[in-house]
Amino acid sequence: MQVTQLEPALHVLTPIGEGDACFLMFDDFDVFWQVFIRETGESWWWDNHLIRLKPSLSGHHVNTSPIRLSPGEQDALQKFSRKQPGEK
């Protein structure tokens, strides 16, 4: 596996919200994105098919395809809480 830091970070969409992608990890077959979720500050690693660039008029990127989750992925993410550490 190889890890590359993204400079600057990319504003992306994930299944749980907007974030900033800071690293890519990849080998011959797979690509994973490390993303800090903006709402919570949590760090998540995502498979390539679950990441979209945030639409940007100034970056001439105005459309994005929907993120499609498998039933297993949907079940796993339903358990995710967006509360900050220490919140009740």
4, two tokens: 């590359």
CA gap 50, 26 in Å, rounded: 15
For residues 59 and 88, which has the higher predicted lDDT (pLDDT)? 59
- Residue 44's alpha-carbon distances to 22, 40, 60, in angstroms, are 11, 11, 27
pLDDT of residue 68: 82
Give the residue among 32, 39, 33, 44 at the shortest CA–CA distance from 17.
Answer: 39
Tracing tokens 């990890």 back to the chain, one arrives at 25
pLDDT at 88 over 90: no
pLDDT at 62 over 60: yes
pLDDT-derived band of residue 76, with 50, 70 and 90 as boundaries? confident
Could you report the per-residue pLDDT of 12-59, keeping only the tens digit for each? Answer: 999 999 999 999 999 888 999 999 999 999 999 999 999 998 876 666
CA gap 16, 20 in Å, rounded: 12
pLDDT-derived band of residue 2, with 50, 70 and 90 as boundaries? very high
How many alpha carbons lie under 13 Å from residue 18 in its C-beta half-sphere? 7
